[in-house]
C-alpha cells in the first residue's frame, strides 16, 4: 500500500565539480533547517522528531508505542535500540530530509521512518505510520533482507489494525476486503505462490511498474491473513516457524514453508471464497473487540479521575454528551477525545452494518475495577477490563465468550 524499504539510497560520487558541491551544500543546509524546526520526544521505543503541536505529538507517541508492542507480541522479540521517527507538517521539509517525493511516507534504513503529516487526511496518515513502522521493525528484527512479499503482507495487515488507546486490535475483515481476492481466484488470476513468495526486491518493483501494485499487496496480505486466522488459527504455528527460519537465516525450513503454502492453496482458495461480501458478525468481530477495548480505555480514565457510574448506559451517555471526565494532555493517562467520538460512531455503524439488534451493555462492579460487558445479538459476550498502577493504565484486555462457552 505504501513505499517499501529503501536501503542506503545515497550514491556518492568521487569527483564532484564546484556545481555539485554547491548543490550538496544547499541540500545539507535545507536538511539542517528542517531539523531545527523539530522538537524531540524520547518515547519508550522511539525517538520522535516533529514540528507538529504537542497534542498531536502525544498521540503519535502513544500510537507508535502501542504499535511497537503489537509487532513485538506477534514476532516474539523487539528491536533493542530505540528507532527514529520523523513527522513533518511541511512537505518540503519532508522531501529535504530525504523523504520519498511521490509518497506521503517511507522507511529509510539510514534515517528511520519519515512521514509528511496532513491533518485533513489524518486517519490515512495513522495507517501509513503503522505500515512504515512495520518495515522499520522488520528490518531491525527479522532480517535486513526480509522477503518482499512477507514484508509488504505484514505492512498491510498492521495498517488495518485499530488503535484502542492502550493497544491495537488486528485481524479486521470487512466484506469488501475479501472481494479482490475472490475475483483473482474465480478468474484464475492469482499470482502463483511459487512466484510471489520468491520475488526479489527488484522483481517486485518491476511488477509494480507493470501495473501489478495492488494485486501484489493484496495477495501477499491475503496469504498472511489466511495463515493467521483461517480455521481458528490452525496454520499460525507454521507461519511463526517461518518467521524463526527467516530470522536465523536457515534456508531449508524456508523452502519447506513455501512448499507447504503450495499444498495449502486449495484450502486457501476455499476459505477465501467462503468469506461473505456482506458484513457478518464473524467478519466484524475484531471491530466489536475494538469498540469494547476503546470504551474500556476511557472508562479507566474516568475511574482514574474518581468518576463513577451505576450503569453502563450512564457511562456511555456521559461519553456521548461530553460529561465524561478525562485527563489533560499533560497527564500520563491522556487520550485524544477524537478517539472516543470515532469509537462511538463505530458502535452505531456496526449495529447498522449487520442489521441486528443493538448490543446490550452492563457494568460488572464485583472487582476492584469495574468491567465493561457487551453482549451481541448472537449471544457473544465481550468483557473489557483494566488495571491502574502508579496512576497509569497498565493494562486493558477484552475477553470474548461464545455461546458454546469458548473463551478467547
Burial status of residue 292 (CB atoms within 10 A of its CB: 0-12, 13-18, 19 or more): buried
pLDDT at position 244 over 70: yes
pLDDT tens, 283-314?
A: 788 999 999 999 999 999 999 999 999 999 99
Position 267 scores a pLDDT of 98
> For a pLDDT cut of 70, what percent of the chain falls above it?
88
The residue-averaged pLDDT of 47-74 equals 96
Average pLDDT over residues 49-61: 96
C-alpha distance from residue 329 to each of 46, 54, 56, 163, 336 (Å): 19, 8, 10, 18, 8
DSSP letters, 259-286, are HHHHHHHHHHHHHHHTS-SS--TTTTHH
Using 50, 70 and 90 to split pLDDT, how confident is the model at 178? very high
Whether residue 10 is predicted with pLDDT greater than 50 in this model: the reply is: no
The pLDDT, as a whole number, for residue 200 is: 95
Query: 3-state DSSP call for residue 363?
Result: strand
Residue 399 φ then ψ, to 5°: -100, 130
Q: Tens of pLDDT along 215-243?
A: 999 999 999 999 999 999 999 999 999 99
Evaluate if residue 15 carries a pLDDT over 70.
Answer: no
What residue has cell string 534456508? 251
pLDDT of residue 175: 67
Of the candidate CATH numbers 3.40.50.620, 3.30.200.20, 3.40.190.290, 3.40.30.160, the domain formed by 5-141 belongs to 3.40.30.160
Q: What's the pLDDT tens digit per position in 191-209?
A: 999 999 999 999 999 999 9
C-alpha angle with apex 382: 380 to 387, nearest 5 degrees? 165
391 HSE (CA, 13 A, CB side): 5
Say what the pLDDT of residue 203 is.
Answer: 97
Rounded distance between C-alpha atoms, residue 261 and residue 253, angstroms: 12
**Cα–Cα distance for residue pair 128/117, rounded to 1 Å:** 10
User: Can you give the residue ranges of every domain in the chain?
Assistant: 5-141, 175-273, 285-401
State the pLDDT at residue 19.
47
Angle of CA points 127, 132, 136, to nearest 5°: 145
Lowest mean pLDDT among 35-49, 163-177, 350-364: 350-364
Provide, rounded to the nearest whole percent, the portion of the chain with pLDDT above 90: 75
Evaluate whether 372 touches 366 at the Cβ level (below 8 Å): no
DSSP code of residue 133: H
The pLDDT value recorded for residue 1 is: 42
Encode pLDDT of 129-177 as tens digits: 999 999 999 999 999 999 999 999 999 999 999 999 999 999 988 768 8
Average the pLDDT over each of 8-12, 234-238, 316-320, 379-383 and give the range with the smallest value. 8-12
Dist. CA 143–CA 99, nearest whole Å: 23
The pLDDT value recorded for residue 111 is: 95
Q: pTM of the prediction?
A: 0.87
Q: What is the mean pLDDT of residues 368-386?
A: 95
| Cβ proximity of 154 and 224 under 8 Å | yes
CA distance 382 to 284: 13
Please, which pLDDT band fits residue 13 given cuts at 50, 70 and 90? very low
Amino acid at each position: 500500500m505504501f513505499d517499501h524499504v529503501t536501503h542506503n539510497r545515497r550514491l556518492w560520487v568521487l569527483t564532484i565539480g564546484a556545481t555539485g558541491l554547491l548543490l550538496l551544500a544547499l541540500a545539507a543546509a535545507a536538511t539542517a533547517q528542517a531539523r531545527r524546526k523539530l522538537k524531540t520526544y524520547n518515547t519508550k521505543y522511539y525517538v520522535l522528531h516533529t514540528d507538529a503541536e504537542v497534542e498531536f505529538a502525544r498521540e503519535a507517541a502513544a500510537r507508535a508505542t502501542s504499535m511497537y508492542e503489537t509487532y513485538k507480541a506477534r514476532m516474539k522479540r523487539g528491536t533493542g535500540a530505540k528507532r527514529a521517527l520523523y513527522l513533518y507538517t511541511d512537505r518540503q521539509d519532508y522531501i529535504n530530509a530525504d523523504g520519498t517525493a511521490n509518497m506521503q511516507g517511507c522507511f529509510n534504513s539510514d534515517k528511520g521512518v519519515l512521514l509528511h503529516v496532513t491533518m485533513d487526511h489524518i486517519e490515512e496518515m495513522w495507517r501509513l505510520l503503522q505500515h512504515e513502522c512495520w518495515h522499520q521493525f522488520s528490518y531491525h528484527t527479522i532480517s535486513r533482507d526480509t522477503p518482499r512479499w512477507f514484508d509488504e503482507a505484514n505492512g498491510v495487515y498492521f495498517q488495518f489494525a485499530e488503535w484502542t488507546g492502550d493497544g491495537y486490535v488486528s485481524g479486521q475483515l470487512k466484506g469488501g476486503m475479501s472481494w479482490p481476492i475472490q475475483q483473482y481466484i474465480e478468474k484464475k488470476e492469482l499470482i502463483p505462490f511459487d512466484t510471489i513468495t520468491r520475488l526479489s526486491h527488484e522483481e517486485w518493483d518491476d511488477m509494480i511498474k507493470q501495473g501489478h501494485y495492488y494485486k501484489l499487496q493484496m495477495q501477499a496480505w491475503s496469504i498472511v491473513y489466511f495463515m493467521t486466522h483461517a480455521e481458528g488459527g490452525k496454520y499460525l504455528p507454521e507461519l511463526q516457524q517461518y518467521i524463526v527460519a527467516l530470522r536465523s537465516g536457515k534456508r531449508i525450513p524456508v523452502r519447506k514453508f513455501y512448499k507447504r503454502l503450495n499444498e495449502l492453496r486449495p484450502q486457501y482458495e476455499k476459505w477465501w471464497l467462503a468469506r461473505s461480501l456482506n458484513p457478518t458478525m464473524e467478519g466484524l468481530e475484531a471491530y466489536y473487540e475494538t469498540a469494547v477495548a476503546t470504551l474500556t480505555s476511557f472508562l479507566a480514565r474516568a475511574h482514574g479521575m474518581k468518576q463513577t457510574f451505576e450503569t453502563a448506559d450512564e457511562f456511555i451517555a456521559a461519553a456521548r454528551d461530553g460529561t465524561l471526565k478525562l485527563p489533560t494532555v499533560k497527564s500520563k493517562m491522556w487520550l485524544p477525545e477524537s478517539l472516543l467520538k470515532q469509537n462511538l460512531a463505530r458502535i452505531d455503524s456496526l449495529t447498522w452494518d449487520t442489521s441486528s439488534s443493538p448490543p446490550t451493555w452492563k457494568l460488572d462492579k464485583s472487582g476492584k475495577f469495574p468491567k465493561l460487558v457487551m453482549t451481541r445479538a448472537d449471544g457473544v459476550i465481550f468483557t473489557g477490563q483494566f488495571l491502574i498502577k502508579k496512576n497509569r493504565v497498565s493494562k486493558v484486555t477484552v475477553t470474548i465468550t461464545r455461546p458454546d462457552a469458548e473463551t478467547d
